[in-house]
Structure 1
Amino acid sequence: MTEYNADKAQENAAREEAMHEEYMHNKTTQEKAAQKKPAQEITSSELRKAEEEALKKRLALRVTAPGHKYPWHRWAIPIVGETTAGIGAILIPVMVGQFINQHIAGKAPDAWPMFWVVVAAITFIVINEFFGWGTSMTLSAELGRDWRVYINRLMGRTRTTVDAGEAVTVMNKDVRRITAVYFSLPLFVNAMIIATLGAVQLWLINPVTAIVTLIGTLIVVGVIAWYSSFLESKIGEYREKDGEASSRASDIATGLRTIAGLGAEEQMRERYHRGTDEVFDSYMRYEKTHRWMFLIRALLGGAVTLLGVGFALTGHVENGRWVSDTPAASLVTVASIIAMMGGPIWITQNFLTEWRYAKIALAKVARLEGHAGVRQGVLKSPRTDEEMAQLARAEQAVEASTFEVPVPVAPAGASNPRIVYVNPRDYNLTAQDYAEALARTLRRGGEDLKDATGRRVLLSEPNPMIFAGTLQEHLRLGTVPNPDEELAQAKDQELLKITDSREIAYRLGGRNPEDYFAARITSEGANLSGGQRQRLALARALAQDAQVLILTEPLNSVDEPSQRYIYDAMETQIGSDRLPVGYPGLLQDLEQVYVISTTAETTRRMERDGYPETAQSETAQTETTQNQEVN
């Protein structure tokens, strides 16, 4: 057994080494290919980057999501608190210097009030740290929440495909970068006030020292601001790789069953490993640039400090010994203030770094706004009519070469004419393509997922998402439950019965309704089988307040006896008035249900009802937009 484990470990090590060599070879090959790429060959990724670069020049400095406002005092409290604390911080060394001077002059009674000023300043700084920053933390959390809501709305308004990993990165990491600027703003304002007050205090003690320190501080800030522009490109590169890695992680997290079924666990792990290596490499390039900024700040800040102290120590020889022109006690104040002047430089560096990060994030939001039809949003000035027209044409290109299909009807002898069965193979289409084409046909002339007559048309995807939550939350998602909890729960029970899902409920939480409705369904329905997920997804679809429902392969992972039971229940109850009272928007209100499926059970029902054999032709498809040219 030991020999077997040793051989197995050696085999795994050899495999990992081979995969690493292959990865390094592929990486080198890709880098060489990128260098040889023709100038005219521009990828969609490069077009997106170019669009975001152009948008960065038009961004407004903002930390609030468009359309969201907050009371002015919530902004003022942190700024006033930090400013007052900054003044107190400047007063402390000044009062200590005066305290020493008064004692040297033999005026001890006059010195003690200054001591209590120092105590008061320290006390206020402590109180501000608790209450001021408490207010800031609360507002920061609200800013993050409102940004996520805003971005989520944008994603719902654009037809442009949004990568899942990229969406997660924008709504989490990018939002945090935008709201981080909020924390930097009060500190930055406070830093500027400290620098000004410090310069005034130095002027009162030694004008030359004040001028040298202030000019030196401004030069350091200017150099850091100039250098931070180089930092921005590295931040953008790191952010790009981080988004790609998040996409890979999203693929793995949402496709565990598929990956396991393919036996591709090792390949997917290696794919993700390559992504994390790229993120690490890009982050190291960013950090290398960032470290140079720290070095520049430390060197220039140190030089300014030495010059300031040097000029403060100027003096003359008196009775054979050197005497400073500045009183000895005041030198303590001068040294403290000059040391504190390094604070504004450091805070400015942090503010510029956070703003460079935020610019990358805001550019992505601005791009999303454009494709969602927002004219201004996070930009300084609104988009022009020509820009909006170009973006509209780009959005229309997403639907280029789409088609519609005739609206199918049930034959005269159908068991329930409100249910229409369609085999998409009769149209040489997949179930999803046919369902989407039918949805476009039905919704033509309407808006907001409705047809021209105002009927709500809902499309259920072939593999609908199962969200984490309780069974009851799943069944009521997208609906407005009856305020009478007894009636609302009766509806939930009926949905479970129609979709043959009661055994799922029992397995999740036992036979007590209170227990199984409170039972947890994990993300992606990982604690359910494929057929169970489909049955619960169908129950959720049937619960919606819609007049027309398109079901795409709703039961192709369900065993045939269950399919037969569920379709029989739907045929019996759709359009029926035999259901209990209190079921608004359930089966009796459905005007039409289209079942798009290739299963044998669907075919048998079509043969039973006498559906005509559909010609295998493309003429059944109505081409509406083919090869649209996007300018």
Structure 2
Amino acid sequence: MQIRDLPYTDPGLPDARSGPRFLLWLGRNQLGGQLKSLAWGLLHFGSIAGLPYMVGIAVEAVLDRSGSRLALAGALIGLLGVAIALGDTMLHRTAVTNWVTAAARVQQLLARKTAMLGSALTRRVAAGEVVAVSTGDVEKIGWFVEALSRFAAAAFTVLLVCVGLVVYQPALGVVVAVGIPVLALAVLPLLPRATSRADFQREKAGRATELASDTVAGLRVLRGIGGEELFLDRYRRASQEVRTAAVRSARMWAAISAIQVLMPGLLLIAVVWHGVHLAREGRITVGELVTVYSAVMMLNYPLRHFEEIAMAYSFSRPSAKRAARVLSLERTAEPTTGPRPETPGPRTAGQTEKQPGLTASVPQVGAEGSVGAAAGTTGQARPDGRTWAGGQTRADGQTRAGGQTRAGGARLTGDLYDPVTGLLAPAGRLTAVVCGDPDEAGRLAERLGGHPALEDAAGLPSVRLGAMALDDLPLSEARAAVLVQDKDPVLLSGTLRALLDVPASGAVTAEEALAAAQCADVLDALAQASVDDDPMAAHLTERGRSLSGGQRQRLALARSLVTDPEALVLDEPTSSVDSHTEARVGDGIRRLRAGRTTVVLTSSPLLLDRAEHVVFLADGEVSAVGTHRELMHGEPRYRAVVTRETDDERASVGAPTNFDIEETA
């Protein structure tokens, strides 16, 4: 794999059982690159190790006054110099390639896992930790993969030199062969402490990163309440803790480096002292002493890679552990053992056949231009055989082009059904959902998107779209059929044109989506900020922080409308919008999504009044179904959620309190 071939077509299925196993998996998947780096490393280190022997031959030739041997030694030294330069160049090239490709593989794996988990990721892993894993940790993992082949080449060279010296001059070679392992193992007692200090430093750095990320994300709110100095002081303290931990870690690694310099120096003194005595006794020649001395000097270079691999593993092991933790998370649990609930059965008498259309999670009252406004109220069959009242039939039977299709050509359409809560969003209608518990809305949105919250996933049956279970579909097909926009959508930096350039059916243009989301004022503001007065070319800052909350929300809504999925789930799409704009946004959604299933999770009366079908969830299951006005008159708990009534206010108008409702239940 070369850098020019990135990204990987398929980064593979990682072994995420532990950090070391993940590092081993990376090494195995880059075996070709590792072997290339090892070969060039052997050429480089082997040529360096051969220089002392050539120098010894040259010295002997001078002492023997042999011009031919001196010329041969000079030619061989020149050849070794070329081999050293070539080996060093190619070793660096292949090592950096291993580093970059390993880092790219990890980043692709993390990106794929993040896309698969969606918003459920941050329920198990802090956002700052995800940032740390995808940036600094990726580099440290790549460093270890890159250093591994160079260390292997250095270790093989050291072994070869020791064997060569024993054969070349046993009297001195034995001293070197015994001393080198002592040099390599001298730092081992210090490595656990150095590793623990490095881990502590990275832990502190990760916390500081999380604090900085959270502070930046909430900067607008902090400025509103005057909390900037408080969080700035917290970050100062966290930063100083990181600095102190880094200094303590650096001291330990400095001690290891000092030992790596001191011990070879002591070995060199021992070799020279012993070699001089042997030369005086005539047991070795001057050339042999120079050769052994030069070999020991040259060994300092490959020995430095022993320290590097220790540092690389020390730094990459916790990084790989964090990466493996993220990569080991699963999108959903295994299928339940029992049979999955069937798709809602035949409709009861009096219902007309529903065509694919707009469905929302809030009820919609008939108004001019609304879908199914003139339809009557009939019974609706539930999958368990019971009947809900309040279902509305469509009056026009309208359908739209551009529906999502599967690879085989079959259209993914039909009712959207959640067997956990019993929610049924009829195909082609605007369905509004009101949740008694605000947290239930987020969990419901994730389930409808086919990726429930990880801590709640065990044993849950899959949401169904028509006859298909979303868990049985490939992730790309499930997301093409059902799109979920959560209550805090993210706008990436770039132009507005790039923001709206998303996979779509092509049936909805950007202009139509912006108009439906009531983005006229946003376009005017962006046109003023654009050089050529083109709002589509205006640059949006990260997360759209240059815009107000309502403007960001409407742009995110326009982006969702452009995709034109078969089923669109909107979680509080107008929570930051004023009431007048909210009403127009509701009309725009109803008009643009006619003939498509749309589910809107909201408690806004303005949106609820524009829905064809309203579902009220209480205690995690469907409690009532009807129109907004029907539920306002007949369901006290629904009215309490929508109007924010207190028990005293309900009692003053003769409505039952929560206590009364619970008693009668």
- Is the 1:435–1:459 contact (alpha carbons within 8 Å) kept by the matching residues of 2? no
- What amino acid does structure 2 have at the position aligned with 1:163? A
State the SS of the aligned residue for 2:599.
Answer: strand
Deviation (angstroms), 1:223: 3.0
Matched, 1:95 2:54: yes
Q: Match of 2:462?
A: 446
Structure 2 vs 1, CA of residues 609 and 361 (structure 1 numbering), >3 Å: closer, same or farther? closer
Q: What is the distance in 2 between the residues matched to 1:310 and 1:409?
A: 91
Structure 2 vs 1, CA of residues 450 and 466 (structure 1 numbering), >3 Å: closer, same or farther? farther
1:458 to 460, 483, 500: 483
Q: What fraction of aligned residue pairs are identical, expressed as a percent? A: 22
* Number of aligned residues: 507
Q: Match of 1:51?
A: none
- Is the 2:98–2:142 contact (alpha carbons within 8 Å) kept by the matching residues of 1? no
Q: Match of 1:116?
A: 75
Q: Match of 2:519?
A: 501
Q: How does 1:508-523 map to 2 (within 5 A)?
A: 508-509=526-527, 515-523=534-542
State the SS of the aligned residue for 2:563.
Answer: coil
Matched, 1:416 2:388: no
1:294 to 239, 251, 257: 257
Structure 2 vs 1, CA of residues 65 and 596 (structure 1 numbering), >3 Å: closer, same or farther? farther
1:471 to 474, 496, 521: 496
- What amino acid does structure 2 have at the position aligned with 1:594? V
Structure 2 vs 1, CA of residues 133 and 63 (structure 1 numbering), >3 Å: closer, same or farther? farther
Residues 509-540 of structure 1 deviation map (CA, whole Å, 9 limit, x = unaligned): 56999954333211110222222111100011
- Is the 2:166–2:172 contact (alpha carbons within 8 Å) kept by the matching residues of 1? yes
- What amino acid does structure 2 have at the position aligned with 1:179? G
* Higher share in helix: 1
- What amino acid does structure 2 have at the position aligned with 1:433? E
Deviation (angstroms), 1:214: 1.6
Structure 2 vs 1, CA of residues 163 and 439 (structure 1 numbering), >3 Å: closer, same or farther? closer
- What amino acid does structure 2 have at the position aligned with 1:615? E
Q: Which moved more, 1:544-553 or 1:170-179?
A: 544-553
Q: What is the distance in 2 between the residues matched to 1:221 and 1:308?
A: 17
Q: Match of 1:179?
A: 142
Q: What is the distance in 1 between the residues matched to 2:166 and 2:631?
A: 97
| TM-score (ref. length: structure 2) | 0.68
Q: How does 1:266-415 map to 2 (within 5 A)?
A: 266-315=229-278, 322=280, 325-372=283-330, 410=363, 413=366, 415=370
Deviation (angstroms), 1:175: 1.4
- Is the 2:95–2:147 contact (alpha carbons within 8 Å) kept by the matching residues of 1? no
Q: What is the distance in 1 between the residues matched to 2:464 and 2:205?
A: 35
Q: Match of 1:628?
A: none
Q: Match of 1:615?
A: 635
Structure 2 vs 1, CA of residues 147 and 423 (structure 1 numbering), >3 Å: closer, same or farther? closer
- What amino acid does structure 2 have at the position aligned with 1:105? D
Residues 84-112 of structure 1 deviation map (CA, whole Å, 9 limit, x = unaligned): 11111122222122123213322213321
Residues 167-213 of structure 1 deviation map (CA, whole Å, 9 limit, x = unaligned): 11111111111111122222212222221232234224421221111
Q: Match of 1:538?
A: 557
Matched, 1:572 2:591: yes
Q: Match of 1:602?
A: 607
Q: Match of 1:217?
A: 180
Structure 2 vs 1, CA of residues 185 and 535 (structure 1 numbering), >3 Å: closer, same or farther? same
- What amino acid does structure 1 have at the position aligned with 2:232? R
| TM-score (ref. length: structure 1) | 0.71
Matched, 1:237 2:200: yes
Q: Match of 2:354?
A: none
Q: Match of 2:546?
A: 527
State the SS of the aligned residue for 2:243.
Answer: helix
Q: What is the distance in 2 between the residues matched to 1:602 and 1:618?
A: 15
Q: Match of 1:254?
A: 217
> Unaligned regions of 5+ residues in structure 1, if any?
1-53, 317-321, 375-387, 393-406, 576-587, 622-631
Deviation (angstroms), 1:133: 1.7
Deviation (angstroms), 1:264: 1.0
Q: Match of 1:433?
A: 440
- Is the 2:527–2:534 contact (alpha carbons within 8 Å) kept by the matching residues of 1? yes
Q: What is the distance in 2 between the residues matched to 1:612 and 1:533?
A: 32
Q: What is the distance in 2 between the residues matched to 1:215 and 1:269?
A: 56
> Unaligned regions of 5+ residues in structure 2, if any?
1-16, 337-359, 373-427, 451-459, 471-477, 613-626, 642-665
2:577 to 541, 549, 558: 558
Q: Match of 2:13?
A: none
Deviation (angstroms), 1:255: 1.9
Q: What is the distance in 1 between the residues matched to 2:264 and 2:27?
A: 36
Structure 2 vs 1, CA of residues 551 and 211 (structure 1 numbering), >3 Å: closer, same or farther? same
